[in-house]
Structure 1
Amino acid sequence: MARVRTKDIIEKFNLELVSGEEGINRPITTSDISRPGIEIAGFFTYYPAERLQLLGKTELSFFQQLDSEEKKIRMEKLCTDITPAIIVSREMGVPPELIEASERESVPVLRSHMKTTRLSSHLTNFLESKLAPTTAMHGVLVDVYGIGVLITGKSGVGKSETALELVKRGHRLVADDCVEIRQEDQDTLVGNAPGLIEHLLEIRGLGIINVMTLFGAGAVRSYKRISLVINLELWDQNKQYDRLGLEEEKIKIIDTDVTRLTVPVRPGRNLAVIIEVASMNFRLKRMGINAAEQFSNRLTDVIEDVDHHDEL
């Protein structure tokens, strides 16, 4: 199923449909935009027909200098059966040759009041967001001190209860149970809740609660960049847990490596406070302050001093 169709960009950017209405359901498969200046000059060898075609002042000014036969041929070649749309910027006049060719091939011709470069950038951002690789993960996403924390762990370990405690402490819920994640950039993961369960938390024994109704609009967010994964697991006395924090474990989500901490769960441990401190510590590390490294360096210095003293 196509994730973006030509009609979506018509609605999103309030574009005027000039001709080729039959093609408004065409799929848009790439976020790349083409400005077919070299094609209008007659070179179609590498024409990226599957992209949105954007005609600005430069392209149309050159086009007006062509003779009527050339105009007809160029526009016919521009309109292919896979071209999602041809957009004319700055509300400029649409050449009749383009209208004729577009009607024949059912390629929508659209017009925008925006300048070409600005329109190109808006279209690219919109399409990159819509066409980004996506996945879904079982977990809870919370915004803690501005850090997007994805809480994972087996069913029943206490993810939702921890999220509820965090919300009560002034942090913001993004998604409970199922987190939809899209990779918007080389290393940017953005998570949101599926529409059906947005703002809802499921607490065993209470059932489903609406966080926004209970705690207000400030307790929820629609989406958040994921910076840290905290995996909750039941305490295993035979397992060695990291006590210094020198090792940084990573988890790969889509194509992005994200820092993951494993926090053991046992009665009496306040997980909400631990997650708050983990988030603050993560922020400090990003600022270049690493408590574990500082401790390790101090310890090394003490050992060296002792060794030096013993030698004397």
Structure 2
Amino acid sequence: MVKVTTKDIIEQFKLELISGEEGIHRPITTSDISRPGIEMAGYFSYYPAERIQLLGRTEMSFYELLPSQDRIDRMSQLCTDDTPGIILSRGIEVPAELINASERSQVPVMKTPVKTTRFSSHLTNYLESKLAPTTALHGVLVDIYGVGVLITGKSGVGKSETALELMKRGHRLVADDSVEIRQDDTDTLIGTSPPLIEHLLEIRGLGIINVMTLFGAGAVLNHKRVTLVIDLEIWDKNKQYDRLGLDEEKMKIIDSEITKITLPVRPGRNLAVIIEVAAMNFRLKRMGVNAAEQFSNRLADSIIEGDHEDI
């Protein structure tokens, strides 16, 4: 599935299309950008043709020193069937040789008045965001005291009802039912809601409610980094649940490992409060305060002292 085309970056950055209009629907498959300086010198052995090519003042000032035939050859080699587009920064005038080559190969040539380094940075950030690995998970994403908590569990376990109680307690909804997650960096997962169900919450027996309408704009958030997963499951009396919190379970989403807590669900348990405390405790752990380890150390010290008294 094509995520980004040359037409998208023309619209996003308001680029001036000079030539090669027939190729504006070419797909962009990488966020890497090439500044073909060594190619201007004639070395095309490792030319990254699949990248957007960005020509700045350095490349074009060298190009002006080349003989006429070399100029034609260089621009012809820059324009390949795989090249999604060529952009000239700083409002530099597009040479006729490049226009002719782009029309023959249908490679879009564009201009921007922005400085080369700044434009390269903005374009890279945009492409990394659009081309980042993505997935969709069934669950509810809530911002609790700044912690992005993804609540998962089987259908009907009470995820949405718990999220509703969290909204009443002043926390913010990001997504309900389906959470779209993209991986920006190796360990950074950003969760958003599909546009169709943004700000909506489904409560069985009640139907669909609009959280922003009921609780105000402060009760919703468009996106949030996912840092904690809380999995709700029906209480199993034959299963041993963690009572100290010393063992930290992990869940892999795309390529990132996220802390996971399994919460058993049974009548009488206030899940909203428990999840709220879990988020606060998670923040404390990240700040170096681990209550479970402190208790374990106290217990070990108590045992050692008891052994000394026996002696």
Give the corresponding residue for 2:270: 270
Deviation string 1:174-227 (CA, Å, 9 cap, x unpaired) is 110111111111111111111111110000111000111111111111111100
Match of 2:179 in 1: 179
Q: Distance in 1 between matches of 2:109 and 2:218?
A: 43
The answer to whether residue 41 in structure 2 is matched with residue 36 in structure 1 is no
Q: Distance in 1 between matches of 2:199 and 2:253?
A: 23
Q: For the residues of structure 1 that align with 2:266 and 2:72, how far apart are their CA atoms?
A: 75
Count of matched residue positions in the alignment of Structure 1 and Structure 2 = 311
Give SS of 2:218's match.
Answer: helix
Q: Aligned AA for 1:93? A: E
C-alpha distance in 2 between matches for 1:91 and 1:216:
45
Matched, 1:221 2:221: yes
Q: Deviation digits for residues 269-310 of structure 1, max 9, x if unmatched?
A: 111111111111111111111111011011100100001111
What is the deviation of 1:252? 0.6
Structure 2 counterpart of 1:300: 300
Unaligned runs of 5+ in 2: none
Question: Cα offset for 1:11?
Answer: 0.8
CA distance in 2: counterparts of 1:77 and 1:300, whole angstroms: 71
Write the distance in 2 (CA, Å) between the matches of 1:91 and 1:165.
55
| Residue aligning to 2:80 | 80
What is the DSSP-based 3-state SS (H/G/I as helix, E as strand, rest coil) of the residue aligned with 2:310? helix
The code of the aligned residue for 1:304 comes to I
Q: Give the Cα separation in 2 of the matches to 1:298 and 1:113.
A: 65
Alignment pair present for 1:253 and 2:253: yes
What is the deviation of 1:266? Answer: 1.1
Cα RMSD over matched residues?
0.7
Q: Distance in 2 between matches of 1:17 and 1:236?
A: 63
Q: Which amino acid in 1 is paired with 2:277? A: V
Read off the aligned partner of 1:189 and give its amino acid letter: L
| Letter of the 1:188 counterpart | T
Q: Tell me if 1:14 matches 2:14.
A: yes
What SS does the corresponding residue of 1:110 show, helix, strand or coil? strand
Structure 2 residue aligned with 1:96: 96
Match of 1:170 in 2: 170
State the AA in 2 paired with 1:37: G
Distance 2:285 2:15 in 1: 46
Q: Shift in Å at residue 124 of structure 1?
A: 1.0
1:154 aligned residue = 154
Alpha-carbon distance, 1:114 to partner: 1.3
Deviation of 1:115 after TM superposition, in Å, equals 1.1
Q: CA deviation at 1:42?
A: 0.4
Which residue number corresponds to residue 200 of structure 1?
A: 200
User: Which position in structure 2 is the counterpart of 1:119?
Assistant: 119
Aligned to 2:287: 287
SS in 2 for 1:242: coil
Q: Percent identity?
A: 75
- Partner of residue 61, structure 1: 61
Q: Secondary structure at the match of 2:294?
A: helix
Alignment partner of 1:201: what SS?
strand
**How far is 1:96 from its partner?**
1.2
Q: Residues of 2 paired with 1:90 and 1:290: CA distance?
A: 53
Q: How far does residue 116 in structure 1 lie from its aligned partner after superposition?
A: 0.9
Supply the distance in 2 between the matched residues of 1:110 and 1:169 (Cα, whole angstroms): 51
User: Quick one: distance in 2 between partners of 1:10 and 1:218?
Assistant: 34
